[in-house]
A and B are shown apart, each in its own frame.
Chain A
Amino acid sequence: DQQVKQNSPSLSVQEGRISILNCDYTNSMFDYFLWYKKYPAEGPTFLISISSIKDKNEDGRFTVFLNKSAKHLSLHIVPSQPGDSAVYFCAASVYNTDKLIFGTGTRLQVFP
């Protein structure tokens, strides 16, 4: 049972354009959502997070949107840069457990 789903395994975007990565979840007990970025031969690194009490969090070129009624969150990268090319994992934690449940990842390629 996949509680966190990233239905797009890959995304290709031109440099300078917006990248939108999507994530759906099924567990209404999730209270915190995070995005991690992973380059080849490296471990995932934390990118941005959002609490379930908010609907938007912004950090520079990265913005995460949360739609609780739809159980959907998205990561917007504007403008996209070649260095953003990586695999992006959506993750969620259940209230009071501190365990993270990860999605399957979306490979983003930003081309010139």
Chain B
Amino acid sequence: DADVTQTPRNRITKTGKRIMLECSQTKGHDRMYWYRQDPGLGLQLIYYSFDVKDINKGEISDGYSVSRQAQAKFSLSLESAIPNQTALYFCATSDSQGHGYTFGSGTRLTVV
């Protein structure tokens, strides 16, 4: 099993729909992150969580929300999806040092 598992791997949804992307990890790490990747823009931080009770906004949090259900689970929601949220989404975890991130394989989301 992968250390960081993201579901679904691919998703096509319609504008205005609510969608949830899920992430679970077996690394035992406290810190979890959600990034999105767009061509030419690299990886941009959406939200991050340093423990179950700690949620923080990243660079591009507008239009997104998150839930840290347990140490191992961190989900990302798009309340009302719009086409410019079409991107590749990555979940990552890190240990207390925060430097060596472990990434999931990504979720490719298309909003039509």
Residues of A within 8 A of B (CB): 4, 6, 9, 32, 34, 36, 41-46, 49, 89, 91, 93, 97-105
Contact between A43 and B103, CB atoms less than 8 A apart:
yes
Contact between A9 and B40, CB atoms less than 8 A apart:
yes
Complex interface: stretch among B12-20, B42-50, B62-70, B73-81:
B42-50
Contact between A89 and B104, CB atoms less than 8 A apart:
no
Interface size range of chain B in the complex: 20 to 34
Distance between Cα atoms of A46 and B92 in the complex (Å): 11
Chain B 93-112 near chain A by CB (<8 Å), digits 1 or 0 = 01001111111111000000
Q: Does B34 contact A (CB under 8 A)?
A: no
Q: Which chain A residue lies CB-closest to B108?
A: A41
Give the top 7 A-B pairs by smallest Cβ distance, nearest first.
Answer: A98-B98, A43-B103, A104-B42, A102-B43, A102-B42, A44-B103, A43-B105
Given that A32-B99, A98-B50 are known contacts, is A44 also in contact with B42, CB under 8 Å in the complex?
no
Question: Nearest Cβ in chain B — how far from A38, in angstroms?
Answer: 8
Distance between Cα atoms of A44 and B93 in the complex (Å): 12
Q: Which chain A residue lies CB-closest to B96?
A: A98
Which A residues lie within 8 Å of B98 (CB)?
Answer: 93, 97-100
Question: Nearest Cβ in chain B — how far from A8, in angstroms?
Answer: 13
Contact between B42 and A89, CB atoms less than 8 A apart:
yes
Chain B 12-40 near chain A by CB (<8 Å), digits 1 or 0 = 00000000000000000001010100001
Contact between B45 and A45, CB atoms less than 8 A apart:
no
Contact between A49 and B99, CB atoms less than 8 A apart:
yes
Which B residues lie within 8 Å of A105 (CB)?
Answer: 42
Q: Does B72 contact A (CB under 8 A)?
A: no
Contact between A45 and B94, CB atoms less than 8 A apart:
no
Which A residues lie within 8 Å of B100 (CB)?
Answer: 34, 46, 49
Which A residues lie within 8 Å of B40 (CB)?
Answer: 9, 104
Which A residues lie within 8 Å of B99 (CB)?
Answer: 32, 34, 49, 93, 98, 100
